[in-house]
Amino acid sequence: MPPRTPVRSGPRLPLVVTSDNELLDELLRLAAAGGGEVEVAADPASARSRWAAAPLVVVGTDQAQACLRARLPRRPRVVLVGRSGEGDGGWEVAELLGAEHVAVLPAAEPWLVDRFGESLTGRGAVGGPARIVAVIGGRGGAGASVLAGGLAITAARCGLRTLLVDADPLGGGLDLVLGWEQLEGLRWPALTEADGRVDAPALVRALPSRGDLVMLSWDRGDLLALPAEAMAATMDAGRRGRDIVVVDLPRQLDDAAVIALQAADQTFVLVPAELRATAAAARVVAAAGLHCANLSVIVRGPAPGRLKAREVARALDLPLAGTLRPEPALCRNLERGEAPAAAGRGPLAALCQRIVTDLTGAAGVPAEAR
């Protein structure tokens, strides 16, 4: 298993993509004038893992064609930067790349300083851009959708503006997990043509919602491939317009799921305490670990072979984020259309509360106070 690198705990930094050292020096100077640092990628290959999550992407004209050939997903707030006298084909390349602006130096220096400053100081309601947490099952039927739903319900109960994203086209549907199948609102098929330009407030207003929780899920129509561009736009809108985003991922990672993984600050792999489930989860971890360094495991009981949670974590070479004891009433409540962790009691609710608090610092509301 490849070694994992630590994930930056603070806000995401703007991404600069260029191998032109002189241009890079100028952009680093402008970023410093805007109040902070940037991440640097010399080419599209090294930029790909950070492309979707960065609050701003600045592409040097030296890498514009390479980014086009790499077919990086369209996303908002991409700026193409060049120097005066390099030619007038910038707008054509920018349009193909999906860039919103072309900045020509030195004339655009004050404008770029402002753009760097905006991306470095943008804050959400909990003290920064929204935290993105992803959940994936170690094997089929592990309960990842229920955990994702519980996390979203818990975050909303804590007063956090929450977006729950169903990224599994072959799942049963998070609207059923929450009992929201009758709610009106936009579903994924309406976003499949998204080209990276999604207005965050407009998206939130269009989605099914209750209180602080909004959800983007599938309808019951024909199975559609979800474009990576639509997921990138959704992750960006969620990071700008919400306090926390919870994503339910498929075990078979398509391009859209990879975008969500790359944007995630934390990914939880839910694994039943069984030998075969652990073996299956090892494959999931190997695939997910290529796109998100911050993986942890949650082990769900019962353990028919007395396999311990720490043994599962050790086998997967992952930190143990928590355990879930059997909760028979949970299944009955789900069949009746009751959302997981809605009452704030039980093993799932307790685990979700701890995770939300660790991620955001938001404290829960005691059950007796509601």
pLDDT the model gives residue 310:
96
The helix (H) or strand (E) run that includes residue 91 is helix 90-97
pLDDT the model gives residue 213:
96
pLDDT the model gives residue 366:
47
pLDDT the model gives residue 126:
42
pLDDT the model gives residue 3:
36
Strands 209-210 and 213-216: antiparallel
Mean pLDDT of 356-363: 82
Mean pLDDT of 357-362: 83
| Measured CA distances, 60 to 43, 113, 175 (Å) | 10, 16, 42
Predicted confidence (pLDDT) at residue 369 exceeds the cutoff of 60: no
Predicted confidence (pLDDT) at residue 352 exceeds the cutoff of 60: yes
pLDDT band at 5 (very low <50, low <70, confident <90, very high): very low
pLDDT band at 165 (very low <50, low <70, confident <90, very high): very high
What's the whole-model pTM score?
Answer: 0.74
Predicted confidence (pLDDT) at residue 361 exceeds the cutoff of 80: no
Q: What are the tens digits of pLDDT across the range 274-324? A: 999 999 999 999 999 999 889 999 999 999 999 999 999 999 999 999 999
Predicted confidence (pLDDT) at residue 155 exceeds the cutoff of 50: yes
pLDDT the model gives residue 89:
59
| Measured CA distances, 110 to 31, 104, 302 (Å) | 11, 11, 60
Give percent of the chain with pLDDT exceeding 70: 89
pLDDT the model gives residue 239:
84
Predicted confidence (pLDDT) at residue 23 exceeds the cutoff of 80: yes
pLDDT the model gives residue 128:
56
Contacts of 8 (CB under 8 A, 6+ apart): none
Instruction: Locate 84 and state its tokens.
Output: 């005066």
Instruction: Locate 198 and state its tokens.
Output: 């999604």
Q: Measured between alpha carbons, how far is 130 from 170 in angstroms, rounded to an integer?
A: 27
The chain-wide mean pLDDT, for the chain, equals 86
Contact status, residue 81 vs residue 59, Cβ threshold 8 Å: yes
Give percent of the chain with pLDDT exceeding 90: 57
Q: Measured between alpha carbons, how far is 321 from 204 in angstroms, rounded to an integer?
A: 30
Q: What are the tens digits of pLDDT across the range 172-213? A: 889 999 999 999 999 998 877 655 556 667 888 899 999 999
Residue from 166, 224, 239, 145 nearest 190 by CA: 224
Mean pLDDT of 135-143: 95
Q: What is the DSSP string of 221-254?
A: S------HHHHHHHHHHHHHH-SEEEEE--SS--
Residue of higher predicted confidence among 341 and 202: 341
- Range among 10-14, 83-87, 335-339 with highest mean pLDDT value: 335-339
Contacts of 161 (CB under 8 A, 6+ apart): 125, 212, 241, 242, 243, 244
Q: What are the tens digits of pLDDT across the range 53-70? A: 788 999 999 999 999 999
pLDDT the model gives residue 264:
92
The helix (H) or strand (E) run that includes residue 283 is helix 275-288
